[in-house]
Amino acid sequence: MDQVVSITAIRRIAVVTVHNPPVNALGPGVPEAIRDAVKSAEANADFDAVVVIGGESTFVSGSDLNYLAQVASGEIPPRDLRGIFLEMEDSGKPVVMAIHGSALGGGLELALAGHYRVLAPSAKLGQPEVNLGLIPGGAGTQRLPRLVGVLKAAEMCALGQSISAQEALALGLADHVVNQDLLAEAVTFAETAPPPNKTRERNDKLVSVNLEDLQGQVRKSMRGRNAPLAAIDSVAKSATVSFEEGCRYEAEQFSRCLTSAESRGLMHAFFGEREVTKIPGVSQDTAVLVIAKAGVIGAGTMGAGIAMVYANAGIPVLLREVTQEALDRGMNHIRKNYASTVSKGRLTQPEMDARLARITPQLGYDGFEQCDVITEAVFEQMQAKKKIFQDLDRVAKPTCILASNTSTLDVDEIASATKRPEYVLGHHFFSPAHIMRLLEIVRGRGTSDAVLASSMVLAKRLKKVAVLSGNARGFIGNRILHPYIREAQFLVEEGASVEDVNSAIYDFGMPMGPLAMCDLIGLDVEYRIHQESRLYHKPGIREPFCIDILYKENRYGQKNGKGFSGYASGRHSVADTAVTQMIHAEAAKKGLAKRDISREEIADRCILALVNEGARVLETGTAMRAVDIDIVYLTGYGFPSYRGGPMFYADEIGLDRVLARVVEFQAAHGEDLWSPAPLLVKLAHLGHKFADHHLGGHS
C-alpha cells in the first residue's frame, strides 16, 4: 500500500501525519503505521514529543467499514486495536493529538490513546458506532469515561451524537482549543507539555451513576436495538472493574454486536445509500447539467414543500399557482413551517428570512425560461399534468429538466405532451417534502443519461437519498405498499382488532401500524387510491372493504379526529371498539368467519406481502437491485433500519422460509392474492438471495 503515515520535524517535535484519503479511515495497516511512527519518534533522541495530525481536511473519521464487514463475515481475522493503542499510550514521550475535522469512532479512540488533545475550533468528536449496530471496539468505552465521566460517556456511546470542540474542552476531553493554526499551536503545546498522562490511569471521574433514565431513553428512541444498551453496559463497567477487565468486557460485547443481525442490517443500509446513487449503464463521468434556478408548479402541500427543499439548498425557486388565494395559502404554509423550525432552535431568524427570500411566488410563467429544473406538483390527474407540460415545453429553455412529482401516473404519457421526452422524468418527493429524505427518480423511455445523472447529483445537493425507478404504476414504493395495506385490512376483516394489527407491526419495528398510517394519510385519500387501483385488479378478486365503509361513515382519520382509531387530542390515538365491531359485522354479512389471529401471522402477512410484491418489482426491472427497494423503504416508509429493508430482511431469514410461508398463505387465501413471485420461487430453489439478482444480471 502507499505510505499512509509520514514523519516530519518541527524543531524537536516529531509530526506524524496520517494520509489515507478521503477521511483517513483506520483501514488495514493504518493503525499499525501510526503506532510504528510514534514508536520510531520515541526512539529518536532528536525528538522530545510527538504530534499526530490528519492530512488534508480531517483527523481520523473512523474505522474502515469494508474492513469491519470482512471481519464480521469471517473473511479476515480481527486486529488487536486495543493492543495497538496501548503501545502508543505507553510512549515515554508526550503524544499530542492535533484534531481538526472529525475524530469519530476509531478516530476518537485513537485520540484517547494520546496523552493530550489539541483541537481546532470546528472539530467534532464522537462515538457513532451504534449507528452501525456496534459499540466502540478500541477501548473507547473504558477511556472516554475517564475523561468526561461515566454518564456523558454512556450518552456519547449509546446515542452516537458528536460534541463540539468547545464542549470537549469543558468536559475535559480536550486540553486546548486553538485560535488560528492547529499544527503550529499543537507543536507549541507539545514543546511545553508535561510528562505523559495516560488516559487509562485517570480514575478521578470514574464514579458509578444511575443509568436507568438513559437506558429508558434508548429503549424508546432506538426501539428494537441492542447495541446502544450494550454500549451503556460497557461504559458502566469502567466504574466498577479494572481497565483491563473493562476492555475484556468491551471486546466480548463488540464481537457479539459485530456478528449480529442488527449490525448487518445497519451496515447494509449504510452501504446501500451509496450503492443506489450508481446507475448501471450510466457512466459516473456523464456530464451533468448546471442547476442554478428552479421552478415549482403548484403551491399545495407538496409544491410548497418542494419549494422549501430548493430554498434550503440555496437554490432560488419560482413558485407558481393559478389563483392568488392558493398562492397565499401555500406561502403561509411555508412561513409556518419555517417559523416552527425557528421556534425549536433548529434555524435562526436570519436564516429563515434568507430562505424565504429565495422563494418567489407568482401567478404566471414569467422567469420560468431561466429555470434549469422545473417540478410539476399539481393534483394527480393526467390531463391536468399534460396541459402543464405542454405549457412548460413552450416556456422552458431547451436544456431545462422537466420533472413531475406524480406518485402513480405514467411518466411517458406525461412526456408525450412535450417535444423533448429526453428531458422529462419523475421526481417523486415524499411528504412532507422538506423533511422526508427519499426522492424516487422515475426514468421514462426517452429520459437521457445526462438528465438522470443530473437528477442524482441534484438530489445529493438537496440532501435527498435518490433511488432510480422504472416507469411502472406506483413506481417502487407505492406499488409495494398496496398489498401491505390490503393485508392489514383483511386481517381485521378476519377477526383481528385494529389495535392488534397496529401493535404487531409497531413491535416489528415500523414507526406505526399500517392502519394508523392510513389514518395519518387520510382515509379519504386512501379511498380514492383504492377506487382507482381496482381498475387494474382481476375481476372478482377479493377486495378489502374496511376503508370503504369507514369513508362512507365520514371517518377520514387524523384530519377529522376519527378513522380506524379515534383522535380526541391531536395525533394521540385511542381505540374505538365500534370500528372493529362495524367491520366484523360487515364481514359476517359477507360470509367471513371470525377467528383468532396470532401476532406472528399479522406480522408475516403484512411484511411478506411487501417482500413478495418487491420480488415482482425486482423481476420486472422497475427496481434494478434489491437494495433499491430496501433504501426506498428505509428512507421513505420507516422500515426499521436495523432490519436493513424488506428484501434484506427476507434474505436474512432465508428465502426458502419466506417461500414456504407465502405458499401457506396461498393455500389459505387463494393464488390471486398470494401467488409466489416467480423470482422468489427461483431464488429460493437455487439457495440464492435477492441481493444476488440485479437488472440485467443472472441468478
Catalytic residues: 109, 129
**Strand 317-320 relative to strand 95-99, pairing:** unpaired
Handedness of CA 499, 502, 505, 508 (dihedral sign): negative
CA distances from 49 to 95, 213, 330 (A): 6, 43, 62
**How is residue 311 written as a grid cell?**
430554498
Q: How far apart are CA 26 and CA 45, in angstroms?
A: 28
The total of other beta-carbon atoms located within 10 Å of residue 96's CB is: 25
Q: How far apart are CA 487 and CA 501, in angstroms?
A: 10
Classify each residue of 523-554 as buried b or exposed e, where b means 16 or more C-beta atoms within 10 Å of its C-beta.
bbbbbebbeebeeeeeeeeeebbbbbebbeee
Residues 51, 13 contacting (CB under 8 angstroms): yes
Looking at the DSSP bridge assignments, the partners of residue 50 are 14, 95
Q: How far apart are CA 439 and CA 299, in angstroms?
A: 19
Q: How far apart are CA 224 and CA 509, in angstroms?
A: 7
**How is residue 54 written as a grid cell?**
490528519
**How is residue 229 written as a grid cell?**
444498551
Contacts of 353 (CB under 8 A, 6+ apart): none
Number of H helices, E strands in the chain: 30, 19
Handedness of CA 318, 324, 326, 329 (dihedral sign): positive
**Owner of C-alpha cell 450503492:** 275
User: Which SS3 state, helix, strand or coil, does residue 696 take?
Assistant: coil
User: Which SS3 state, helix, strand or coil, does residue 510 take?
Assistant: coil
**Strand 163-164 relative to strand 124-126, pairing:** antiparallel
**Owner of C-alpha cell 391536468:** 384
Residues 269, 645 contacting (CB under 8 angstroms): yes
CA distances from 675 to 568, 612, 622 (A): 41, 9, 19
CA distances from 82 to 5, 109, 198 (A): 20, 9, 14
User: Which strand ranges, in their side-by-side order, compose the sheet holding 163-164?
Assistant: 102-104, 124-126, 163-164
User: Which SS3 state, helix, strand or coil, does residue 156 take?
Assistant: helix
**How is residue 666 written as a grid cell?**
396461498
Question: Which H/E stretch holds residue 427?
Answer: strand 424-429
Sequence letter at residue 626: A
Q: Which among 453, 372, 365, 441 has a CA at the least distance from the CA of 404?
A: 441
For the chain, the C-alpha Rg in angstroms (whole number) is 28
Residues 164, 124 contacting (CB under 8 angstroms): yes
**Owner of C-alpha cell 406505526:** 512
Residues 399, 423 contacting (CB under 8 angstroms): yes
Q: Which among 686, 683, 602, 694 has a CA at the least distance from the CA of 650?
A: 683
Contacts of 213 (CB under 8 A, 6+ apart): none
The total of other beta-carbon atoms located within 10 Å of residue 521's CB is: 18
Maximum separation of any 2 CA atoms in the chain, in Å = 93
